[in-house]
């Protein structure tokens, strides 16, 4: 039995999400909270495997609260189900190790894909959010252009699109070893050590 906690105050979306979860997760316990106090209290008193939250619809819920949720419930998978509004929203996703970010206007199948990947230890960005991210992040700033070679910029764009190393190497007709070398150089030049940190670097450099 999987325990799901839905934190939202938009009734139509809650109804649709509950129907979707019941369809894809046969054995599940679904609880809905509509306020920050209810959310914190429920997490303190109950074991929750999945928290699906729209932070924009929880009164007085701030991005910094994700850090506290992660500290208090380290084993709970946290999924943001909302709309991409600004860089701060995605910054929280990257900084606080949120497990998934899904747009509210996604297809039902996207929910299933997200749960499958997250259950298997991966993080998940739905295609719509990924496309929006690519639009705002892959246009390199002038100082980033000076640091990265043309090939490194190509690889950075591919990584930002969510492509894995093997597919990037195949698309660019290079070996996986060469790809790893380029990725290592990109991280070294930008002073970042992971892909999420690299994306945050782009945000901090005011690319968006």
Per-residue pLDDT reduced to its tens digit, 104-149: 888 889 999 999 999 999 989 888 777 766 655 555 544 544 477 8
Mean pLDDT check: name the lowest of 25-39, 70-84, 96-110, 182-196.
182-196
SS3 98: coil
Q: Give the separation between CA 136 and CA 23, rounded to whole angstroms.
A: 35
Q: Regarding beta strands 124-125 and 100-103, do their DSSP bridges make them parallel or antiparallel, or are they unpaired? A: parallel
Q: Give the separation between CA 177 and CA 78, rounded to whole angstroms.
A: 34
Q: Does the pTM exceed 0.85?
A: no
Give tens-digit pLDDT for 157-178.
777 777 788 998 998 989 999 9
User: In whole numbers, what is the pLDDT of the chain averaged over residues?
Assistant: 82
In total, the chain counts a number of residues equal to: 208
pLDDT confidence of residue 52 = 97
């Amino acid at each position: 039995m999987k325990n799901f906690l839905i934190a939202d105050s938009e009734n139509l979306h809650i109804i649709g999400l509950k129907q979707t979860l019941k369809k894809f997760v046969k054995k599940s316990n679904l609880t809905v909270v509509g306020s920050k106090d209810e959310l914190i209290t429920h997490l303190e008193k109950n074991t929750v495997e999945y928290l699906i939250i729209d932070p924009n619809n929880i009164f007085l819920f701030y991005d910094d609260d994700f850090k506290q949720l992660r500290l208090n419930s380290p084993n709970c998978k946290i999924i943001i189900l909302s709309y991409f509004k600004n860089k701060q929203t995605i910054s929280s996703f990257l900084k606080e190790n949120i497990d998934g970010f899904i747009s509210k206007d996604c297809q039902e199948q996207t929910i299933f894909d997200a749960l499958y990947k997250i259950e298997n230890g991966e993080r998940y960005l739905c295609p719509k959010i990924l496309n929006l991210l690519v639009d705002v992040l892959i246009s390199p700033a002038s100082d980033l252009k000076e640091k990265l070679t043309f090939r490194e910029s190509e690889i950075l764009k591919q990584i930002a699109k969510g492509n894995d190393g093997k597919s990037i190497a195949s698309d660019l007709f290079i070996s996986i070893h060469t790809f790893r070398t380029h990725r290592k150089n990109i991280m070294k030049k930008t002073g970042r050590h992971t892909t999420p940190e690299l994306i945050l670097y782009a945000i901090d450099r005011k690319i968006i």
